Structure 1
């Protein structure tokens, strides 16, 4: 049963009981819960607060409990609704509704005729296998590898089992279909922690694994790792590119966690140190094949000989059964004897599944060249982070009128999968199709260009992490055709985001907390661009973004190098201003000012305050009363804080008041200024205006939580902790500190984390806990040493030497 049927059934139940239909929010909650999403994730999708979503959901579970006469919860809603729907609908939709009317009178029942009542045509013969998985889970196996050849139904079985079992949360990872496209395990953990578990990933693999383990101990979680074999070598061990996968699987095999992990793979997993039970999935029986052919009302001979020979030839393979049913129905008017007569005693030269797929695609090429080309072009999509395609992505690969008919042709032949309006290719079908696509260099190039154009044009505003991930797909398609300049343009394409900013994709992604993934794609593309005759400005803007990522993660010297390189390039071009049009001049000047602003912020974190003031003053002088006034406003905030740090209260106060006035008049857009609002909060805090500081921190916190900006959220929490300490509210201060430290640690923001440790030390000192204070100051010292922030190290050493009990 799909989620649409579930919601329709739920709606009918409630309407019958209450006379009211489900609201849009209730439908959204049911849809997301069906997919195993957390309330936090549902709130992000629905556009409501997490608390409101929980309240509506709680009321919904109570209503359903009353209707069904048993306790319904978020955790068991799916399994219990399946049970009640089966009770309500004892039989599947009649066969007559599924086949063409002209076939009805021509059906010849096989002997003996297997019943087709109460069967799911996509899940024939698997009830016993579901029970086997349940038995293995009950025996305490944490990792179960469902092993078997392609097309056996491993993924279908795993998904069906996980969805019908009452897990609190479902996590899914589709391993790349090719070894060359394997995804870093850090990216997978980022996805699970941030989107599914409502947590922040760590700055390195070990921290992210530790956080995942905490969730796995607290919640009953089902995990599917699909199609593992591209990550394995000939000995069943991980290839060098996937060595870190072993660390994740070792965690998932830990007996202290509540999770159950299903892995599908054609190959056996033989990695030392990973406890996994291998379950070789049995093939479908001849009776199962009879059920499937009868269900589709195919005309079968009076004897079973032909079907038995086909069953033996394909070893009971589920995908082969599906393709054969479709071929007989579509190409031979439902007549198995006609199919057999066409292919003779040896229906195919080869009998393995890949050759069946090849034969089917060869026939498609002869009968429907348009559908054949669409199938090949659809194979260029990665089916990884975005595992299923919307219809628009399919249509992007052909003329809409032809594509609609071609999709029907592919579905009729079981060469494309579809569920709830989403499309994808079976891995074996994709493997055959992409091999053909790559043989035609022009078509390979066109398909990837069309896919890249679709992903770029379909995402106009970045409102969520999913939007950003879809927009990033275009990058991979350009990389596939070695168009590195176009790949860079994907990263640099600006869109409005949830903070009312107009930023390049890469900038929005790293603000969302995707520091490591963005750093990886930028450095990868820069490696190629710097060896080509690429416009230097494109390289410079990428370095400008990469510099800010290095800064946040504590690699400040590398960050400075990136910004100085950008400044050098922009200065060279600005010297030739007479040859530049107005738009290009604006862009160059903006990039120049932005790099200067970044250098000023870096210097502040290094406590090089005079250097910071010089850079910030330059930004103000260049931007004030120009189209770059926004940069001058930001620099003024930072300059005010710098003066406050140096004890120059009058100057700091004057600048802060000017900034407060500016921000007040930009309140409708202040979400884009969240970082600088918290800087202004720091300034007022340094000046002793605690109420104003608290108000600014709270504003920044609200914007950061609404737009998922973890760095700003953590900095605002640190500021609120210092104010609580000054108001002699240590318990509240420690609570704020705990949240901010965890966030900074999660995104790997070393400079910010070191500052947070310093402030946490002050809070413990106010509680007369000198040893604990020193402990955190030593941690701050270690981070500043790692960053090579000499003056910050000197400040912390002074604290350790002077703040004695």
Structure 2
């Protein structure tokens, strides 16, 4: 039941008109405290679809209101937005720090327009636990090596902003001015620079009205040469392109690179810190050319640091292995650990041993973590998504050579080096001595997305990911193959049985898809993994294959070991990477 005040705020929000009818409904039900599965049940939609609608909803609200909004904080952020709008209190600007420096000396705004809806992004207590090594390195670069341009990179929730806040607190007294800007809803570079100059007291009428970017940059760099300033641009990824061309600027924001180039190349005594989930390509070039341009990629916290950070949750944990698994599963991501810790405390009374049972089964309990990853996943191009699905579905680390052999599409193989580099630049891919993998929580998310995609394809009769990658790697070790069955195939079958009502109806649907595949042109039906995937689904459903007709198909990665093949028609089949109980000599084998 909504309070009168909450209802009024919600009505005002809906009046903005930027939401679809379904997003409006999801927002109202989420405000009432319902989870995505509960909303899906109320509306008659698939839970995964409602979760996708929710993720898009929070992005729309973030862009509309100029705040960072997700399912965890949306009530408080919306309340703060309308409360601030009513009071209309501007963000305070204070003079350059001299004596008694504090965080109130930092000028902060959301994008180049000073926003009255923002509070200071500085917490009252220091949450930079576990970042001592990074703090020392960054402080050394700024204080002793006169670093001009510094990029702090990492995936969402890893602690980029928190670490930057710590740097602003500790190094602030050594600078005359500290200016913080978030790039959510950022204006063009000319407006941003004009705003910074205005904050510094150097915005003359010529710059204001003519918006001369080169002149503005000259004035700004002159100031940075004469005065020691710390400039911070948070969330740079919001002005970078999504999908293709990772690391390039969005249309209309290319001129930001002029700012970065001048800051990197001209001599001055100031420092510009950028936080981003991705690093612009041009900054990588400046870094190679100039030792005063640096970047650091933040990794997850250690188990010990995470335990210190989460001390207030009073976890019950008698086995250090439980704690190690808990932290490693979420890759030491501070925000993810805090989000899931709230659920563990509420559902399991902070008992990690009980929660571990769900982790082992691959059961997710927090929509908030999905929302966190979705923000990064939604920026991927189709080749990047496909590669993410490959890493998730194979359940093991893969080398470049292994991936190149598994990819059947010649274009995908050609683009493989570039796609790998893009995923690394987005902080989504782990690379340990040439073996690539996903962090466990990202792999879990990607696996869930892949299962949804496969369900839709099987229901609609499409052959996309069903034909692009194998559900089971027949040549993998027993351990890896068992993991694929447990984490991918069995959940897929469970979802499909629920969708088709009975296992018999699902079996019939797979037969229909097999018939459709057999009717395709040879160049199509021989080109992918679909034949082997359909056969593996029947095998793993323990369906009797007697008198089944799988003739004239390409069968890749079928696992027949221990399965009776009496009466099955495999005439004219082409086999590749498949495993039989005994050697068969009557079939064509692909190289």
TM-score by length of 1: 0.29
Which structure's relative contact order is higher, taking Cα pairs within 8 Å and 6+ residues apart? 2
State which structure, 1 or 2, has the greater radius of gyration over its C-alpha atoms: 1
Tell me which protein shows more helix as a share of its residues.
1
TM-score by length of 2: 0.38
